[in-house]
Amino acid sequence: MKVLLISLVVIAAIAFLSTWIGQKLRARKGEIEEEPEVAEPMEECCGAHEICETDILNKMSEEIIYYEDEELDVYKNFEENDYNDDQIDEFREVLYSLKEKEIAGWMRSLELRKIELPSAIKSEVVFMLVK
């Protein structure tokens, strides 16, 4: 068992050293350029993403649109971790009744109504928006 463990450590060390030495040699030859500085994120959307475009369009409107979810108004000013399982299911029920195109608008509606999504639902919404 010790021999196997020592062998794995030695193999890992050899791999690390060979990679490190290879990078140093390529850097000397000029094959590797220095990494460019990371630009700070733009305050405005670049417009290249469907989500950004939808978000910009929704933010232009200050009109609250209800998606047959008036019952969620009772959760105004709740924190994302304050919800119990039944309350989370209420949000989930509304979310899964929406069409894909309506999700971004629903998110904007909740934002205008000062209703924060439960943390358990946020990842589901992001997944639905990205796919």
Residue 70 lies in a domain: yes
CB 30, CB 56: distance < 8 Å: no
Residue 27 lies in a domain: yes
Same domain as 123, residue 73: yes
Same domain as 34, residue 54: no
Same domain as 68, residue 24: no
Same domain as 13, residue 57: no
CB 113, CB 73: distance < 8 Å: yes
Same domain as 84, residue 33: no
What whole-number distance in Å separates Cα of residue 24 and Cα of residue 5?
29
Residue 63 carries which DSSP code? Answer: -
Predicted confidence (pLDDT) per residue in 23-45, tens digit? 888 777 765 555 555 555 445 55
Same domain as 63, residue 22: no
Same domain as 116, residue 60: yes
Predicted confidence (pLDDT) per residue in 83-106, tens digit? 999 999 999 999 999 998 888 888
What whole-number distance in Å separates Cα of residue 58 and Cα of residue 110?
12
pTM above 0.95, yes or no: no
Residue 78 lies in a domain: yes
Is the CA virtual torsion 47, 95, 87, 70 positive or negative? positive
| Domains identified in the chain, total number | 2
Residue 2 lies in a domain: yes
Q: Give the domain range for residue 5.
A: 1-38
Average confidence score pLDDT of the chain: 78
